[in-house]
Amino acid sequence: MADKNLHIIKKAVYDKLSGDTTLIGLLGSNKIYYAQNLTTPQYPSVIYEVIEEVDNPYNEDSDEGKITETTLSITVFSDNSKSEECDNIEARIKMVLHGQSKLTTDSVICFSCFKLYSNQRRDVEKKLWITTSVYRLTSAPVE
């Protein structure tokens, strides 16, 4: 059995997002980052991070379980004066990630990845639209 490894989940998310030509068309190249506070950001861009990981969510009394539930935060930043750019990128991310088995790779079996909610705000000072979506991913390592 493969070991559980948070890096596998982070890589699966990155590979899925960066491999989607429609999303890259909306964003531009090299604008998907993991948990970074960019000193010289380019817009639009996406930052994703793991905000919670729970092993054996269906039976926490057992250390035998292979299931992991991971909560991901995916934030879209846009300096466009209207929210449509941010909205379109967020909608494409949902299309790419939301559903059954969408993040399955050679290293991880994805049972489900569902969007829980989104929150959009306007940072008036920085003149940015910021949309954060939270996803819950249920997975297990490939044996």
Catalogue all structural domains in the chain, each as residue range(s) with its CATH number: 6-141 (3.30.2000.30)
Give the other-Cβ count within 10 Å of 120's Cβ.
Answer: 14
- Better-predicted residue by pLDDT, 67 or 70: 70
pLDDT at 63: 57
Res 58: pLDDT = 64
What single-letter DSSP state applies at residue 92? Answer: H
pLDDT in tens, 2-18: 456 788 899 999 999 99
Of 70, 81, 87, residue with least CA distance to 9 = 70
Contact 112, 51 (CB under 8 A): no
Separation CA 32–CA 43 (nearest Å): 11
pLDDT in tens, 129-139: 999 999 999 99
| DSSP secondary structure of 5-57 | -HHHHHHHHHHHHHT-HHHHHHH-TT-EEES---SS--SSEEEEEEEEEEEST
